[in-house]
């Protein structure tokens, strides 16, 4: 068995101490943006369950590639608002088209402690009643996506801002053979 020198132990100990002090301790491979998105999803799922809603949230991560286009279209709408997740009581969805799909969309600013699901509880309550329930398909599913998008200032002079973009895909009814899929509610 090979013996580790005292110098190597001290260097390793110093590196670990520096890692902890600078906040760069490994967190299971997930970044703070992933933790923030997970906090939002946790708050949403808990609120759906708590309110006794009859729909299931079906996350579609593949939709995240459309988040930037959805945010830009959302911000161009004259009725669009960027909500504060800590103080929101109701939201007004904006219908946005990206590619061939339509999405009900709501955008939030990022709170101070965005990685805590408690920071998203009020937003989740507003979303469950004011957005997600309108996008049910196949009986009781809602296909949604949660994404953080960094948006540069329009004039190029201001600071970039991070937005939490939450959107649900609109499914239209289809008919074929003996199967009829109802459209969204």
Residue 143: strand, helix, or coil: strand
Q: Model confidence over 35-50: pLDDT tens digits?
A: 999 999 999 999 988 8
Residues of the chain with pLDDT under 70: 1-30, 153-158, 173-185
pLDDT of residue 174: 59
- Residue 145, φ and ψ in degrees, nearest 5: -145, 145
pLDDT of residue 13: 46
pLDDT of residue 154: 60
pLDDT of residue 172: 83
Domain boundaries defined on the chain: 29-181
User: Residues near 97 by Cβ (< 8 Å), separated by ≥ 6?
Assistant: 73, 103
pLDDT of residue 58: 94
pLDDT of residue 30: 58
């Amino acid at each position: 068995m090979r013996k580790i020198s005292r110098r190597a132990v001290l260097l390793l100990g110093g590196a670990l101490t520096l890692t902890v002090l600078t906040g760069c301790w490994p967190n299971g491979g997930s970044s703070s943006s992933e933790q923030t998105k997970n906090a939002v999803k946790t708050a949403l799922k808990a609120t759906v369950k708590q309110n006794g809603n009859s729909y299931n949230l079906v996350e579609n991560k593949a939709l995240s590639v459309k988040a930037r286009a959805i945010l830009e279209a959302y911000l161009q709408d004259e009725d669009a608002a960027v909500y504060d997740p800590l103080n929101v009581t109701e939201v007004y969805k904006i219908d946005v088209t990206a590619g061939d799909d339509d999405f009900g969309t709501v955008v939030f600013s990022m709170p101070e402690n965005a990685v805590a699901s408690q920071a998203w509880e009020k937003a989740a309550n507003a979303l469950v009643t004011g957005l997600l329930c309108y996008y049910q398909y196949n009986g009781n599913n809602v296909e949604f996506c949660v994404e953080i998008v960094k948006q540069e200032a329009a004039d190029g002079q201001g600071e970039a801002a991070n937005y939490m973009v939450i959107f649900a895909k609109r499914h239209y009814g289809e008919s074929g053979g003996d199967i009829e899929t109802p459209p969204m509610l």
